[in-house]
Structure 1
Amino acid sequence: MTDTTTVKPNSPITRFLNTVEWLGNLLPHPITLFAILCALIIVASGIAAGFNLSVIDPRPEGVSGRAADGVIHVVSLFSAEGLQRIISNLVSNFTSFAPLGTVLVAMLGVGIAENSGLLSAAMRALVFSAPKKLITFTLVFAGIISNSASELGYVVLIPLAAMLFHSLGRHPLAGLAAAFAGVSGGYSANLLLGTVDPLLSGITQNAAQIIDPSYTVGPEVNWYFMAISTFVISLLGTWITTRIVEPKLGKYRDSDGDAPKGDMGKVTPQEKRALKGAGITFLLLSMLVALTLIPGYGILLNPQTGGFAGSPFLHGIVVFIMLFFAIPGYVYGRMLGTMRSDRDVIAAMSKSISMLSMYIVLVFFAAQFVSLFNWSNFGTVIAVKGASLLSAIDISAPLLFFCFILICGFINLMIGSSSAQWAVTAPIFVPMLMLVGFAPEVIQAAYRIGDSVTNLITPMMSYFGLIMAVAARYQRNLGIGTLVAMMLPYSVIFMIGWSLLFVIWVFGFGLPVGPGAATYYTM
């Protein structure tokens, strides 16, 4: 059969992909990158301070954090005082880094749900219970939802989707593409708050405090927009799969590859019973939490205003993320026999934390970078100059954010880690866009679009090799160009469709991107 997805060796697409791969390979590991950036900031701050680089502080008098003389100077860290400050705060920079604690706490609950088997069984039950007409939509939707549980979508759902399409007489690579589009292209969308929400909000908060030291950003600030995005991306992914990708792939023949059908892991009666128990537990937990949020009675509402905004519930949302994974996960494991004692629960939590070892090392260096960037005042100086340029250009808000999304998507081609990319770019873009009047919550929502849509076409994405290996089981000698060409329609249409949704949601209807989230910022 002719391979209609193969890209010609000298085509513009191939040359572009080769360039991206070459540039990406030039970049060091994200941890090394942060260490290098730390050294560069120290040296650059000494040079900039020597030239007396400064800007007028745009914040009005009396605002916390405003420069005493009304001028923001770059502070040299390449000095005795700078070295003393770095040494004295090295540990506290790490331990006080906002995303660290929240991600660790959330992962304790996710670990129980994952290691008990609940998440895998729930995903399989969702896929296999869907009518055949809705199977494509269900795969994309399940891929998006799977992002609440770390790498589960990549490891379980994508191979399952390929086998499922094959068993239905459809092209297995189309099933792989649909699931991959949901898991990776819809990375930031979800109906549930997951570990990515506290991770990004903590970095956003640190960046926002460059301009406003009292500004706080909670994990829930993008929930409304990301929840509606789940359905939009699912619909777009379904349309692309059935109208573009599947017709292009054509009819599949088993001789094209190893074509594994195998056991697709259908949900057993015992698993169904345990899922029912976990579902009932989830509903009971939801009812219990709802009681604490009844107006005039709820003990977790804001004690001053009696409202939802600024409430202990929102401030402690990470605790509920942990509990809503941990308790149903334990009930499932207890009923199925995968968790028989407290030792099993402890082992599950320990395993989930051990999987974050690379992330913890990354956070150490990222925290130093963020602190050095703040101390040097580089972030504020760049933000003020960038904001002045944007004001002079007088670009419209929708076009400004679309350009921002494109920039984030381009950077994502070379820095695949969401947290690493945002830790580098947030200290620049968040203050800059705050100074032209936009709230950090909206800026973060726009970033999440750019960070998601190009995951599908970059070899720098950490699971790209795994996807290649699964795809090669169905089509021998499948190359990077073939896979990227297959996924490119998802990236392009997701970029356009999701950006339009953002513009309509924020600027058309004036809706908040999350509970209590502001759209505009005034100093």
Structure 2
Amino acid sequence: GLLNSIIKKIVISTPKQLVSAIVVFAGVMSNIASDAGYVVLIPLGAVIFLSFGRHPLAGIAAAFAGVSGGFSANLLIGTTDPLLGGITTSAAQIVLPGYSVTPTANFFFMFASTFFITAVGAWITDKVVEPRLGDYNGPKVDINLNDQISPEEKKGLRAAGLATIGFIILVLLMVIPENAIFRLTPEEITKFIAENNREPGTMEILKPFFSDSIVYILMLAFFIPGLAYGVAAKTVKSHKDVIKSMTKAMASCGQVLVIIFVSAQFVYVFSKSNIGIVIAVKLADVLKDLGISGIWAAVGLIFLTAFVNLFIGGASSKWLMLSPVFIPMFVELGLTPEYTQLAYRIGDSTTNIISPLMSYFPIIVGFASKYEEKEGSMGIGTIIAMMLPYSLVFLIGWSIMFIAWTYLGLPIGPGVSMFM
């Protein structure tokens, strides 16, 4: 229950002039909690906007834009990062044996993207979407925001906050001191200098933390505050409740495991047949002949992914099909697998909110129909029309940010470069 309470607390504590920005921001941050943003924040966004005398559909639009349109952005490493990193690693090893892509590969860019999506999403909500909706004359809903967070939830949030602070201090103690367990030892630093003929940088000294331990650290970062919240909020009364919750969470991974099993066969056959290498080399030659290379090839991947996303939902399923072709191809063009993955993630996020094949789209229509002013006026087409400005501006604006980031030569993640 921790993540649900955090989302509610952030939104409910928002000043009126910042409500749009906070709803979008909470939506972006909610993707670390998988489905929580869709089932908790989007209907709550409507309630928050209505409580401020604003159109509830604008609240749904702002939350939906953050949750789904800004899906890849976040201030933290989410569940998508290690998943896509693993797929990218497999595809990269087709042409770069032993190559590894870490969950933090795109962290710096996605951290900055959180503020971009928040600012742009809030501006579109206030200046474009809500004015088009006009005054709200639909069904009235009784709202009492004080009832949204119970005393038990407040106790749980305090306990989770203290547990989080304690955990952060513990991690810093294992990272910052020179003899910390997550840093390279003097012997390992000497070996690095001998093998690479240069001094290691900060990120390379901390490589064991970023590459070998990050998934375990993330697990503890959620488990410890979650357990503290559960005990204080009385949603966890014994070790049996912990086991039940973990079992329920693992049960929801069943569908993913089935998809991964089938996809693994596809990737294996694809790599053994060398079809990916042949296609990649041929496409790379075509792009070179056309004079398209480097950043502009990556921008082309952004728009291609945005188009494909209208017909094939799921970030991992699309990347399993596209990565064996585009990663070897872009390596041939001198772009790193991490940079290619970043371009894919931008395109994959921006058109989620206008794709009727997105699994949660019918649920969004259901939430919105609660506030329809005329019976039968709410449908898929209405939601797509409402979300289209977000999709177009996110796609174009995020691509411009991607181009500017490349020309400035900024790292996209800890120790990660854009060019081979």
Same fold (TM over 0.5): yes
Tell whether 2:203 aligns with 1:308.
Answer: yes
- The corresponding residue for 1:503 is 403
Counterpart of 1:272 in structure 2 is 154
Aligned-residue CA RMSD (Å): 1.3
Identify the residue that residue 260 of structure 1 maps to in structure 2.
141
Q: Paired residue for 2:164?
A: 282
Gap regions ≥5 residues in structure 1: 1-116
1:166 paired to 2:50: yes
CA displacement at 1:268 relative to structure 2: 2.6
Counterpart Cα distance in 2 of 1:364 and 1:270: 41
2:23 is aligned with 1:128: no
The structure 1 residue matched to 2:388, chosen from 471, 488, 494, is: 488
- Quick check: 320-329 or 269-278, which moved more? 269-278
SS in 2 for 1:211: coil
Is the 8 Å Cα contact of residues 302 and 347 (structure 2) preserved in structure 1? yes
For the residues of structure 2 that align with 1:167 and 1:126, how far apart are their CA atoms? 15
Please list the CA deviations of residues 471-509 of structure 1 after superposition, one character each: whole Å capped at 9, or x if unmatched: 11111321211110110000000001111111111x221
Q: Match of 1:369, as an amino acid? A: F
| 1:243 maps to 2:127 | yes
Equivalent residue letter for 2:386: M
Q: Which has the larger radius of gyration?
A: 1
2:302 & 2:342 partners in 1: Cα distance?
Answer: 10
Does the CA contact (< 8 Å) of 1:167 and 1:261 recur in 2?
no
Deviations 1:103-135 (A, max 9, x none): xxxxxxxxxxxxxx1101111111111111111
Give the aligned partner of residue 181 of structure 2.
Answer: 299
Partner of 1:430: 327
Letter in 2 for 1:139: V
For residues 132-181 of structure 1, the C-alpha deviation after alignment (integer angstroms, 9 at most, x for no partner) is 11111000000010000110000000000011111211110000000000
Matched ranges for 1:50-61 at <5 A: none
Between the aligned partners of 1:259 and 1:424, the Cα distance in structure 2 is 46
Distance in 1 between residues matched to 2:409 and 2:177, nearest whole Å: 25
Task: Give the Cα separation in 2 of the matches to 1:266 and 1:481.
Answer: 31
C-alpha separation in 2, matches of 1:454 and 1:211: 30
- Give the AA of the match of 2:219: M
1:263 deviates by 5.4
What per-residue deviation string (whole Å, max 9, x for no partner) do you get for residues 361-407 of structure 1? 11110111001100111111111111111111112533322211000
Count the aligned residue pairs.
Answer: 401
Alignment of 1:78-97 (within 5 A): none
Whole-Å Cα distance in 2 between the matches of residues 259 and 227 of structure 1?
Answer: 38
Cα distance in 1, alignment partners of residues 314 and 12 from structure 2: 31
My pick for the range that moved more, 487-496 or 262-271, is 262-271
1:234 maps to 2:115: no
Amino acid at match of 1:399: W
Question: Residue 177 in 1 paired to residue 61 in 2?
Answer: yes
Q: How far did 1:308 drift?
A: 3.0
Q: Distance in 1 between matches of 2:203 and 2:250?
A: 32
CA distance in 2, matches of 1:192, 1:271: 23
Alignment of 1:110-125 (within 5 A): 117-125=1-9
SS of 1:361 mapped into structure 2: helix
Normalization by structure 1: what TM-score? 0.75
Choose between structure 1 and 2 for higher RCO, CA contacts under 8 A separated by at least 6 residues: 1
Q: Tell me if structure 2 keeps the 8 A contact 1:379–1:431.
A: yes
Q: For residue 320 of structure 1, report the CA deviation from its aligned partner.
A: 1.0
How many Å separate the matches in 2 of 1:387 and 1:322? 39
Residue pair 1:301, 1:308 contacting (<8 A) in 2 also: no
Contact kept? 2:287, 2:293, Cα under 8 Å: no
Using the size of structure 2 for normalisation, the TM-score is: 0.93
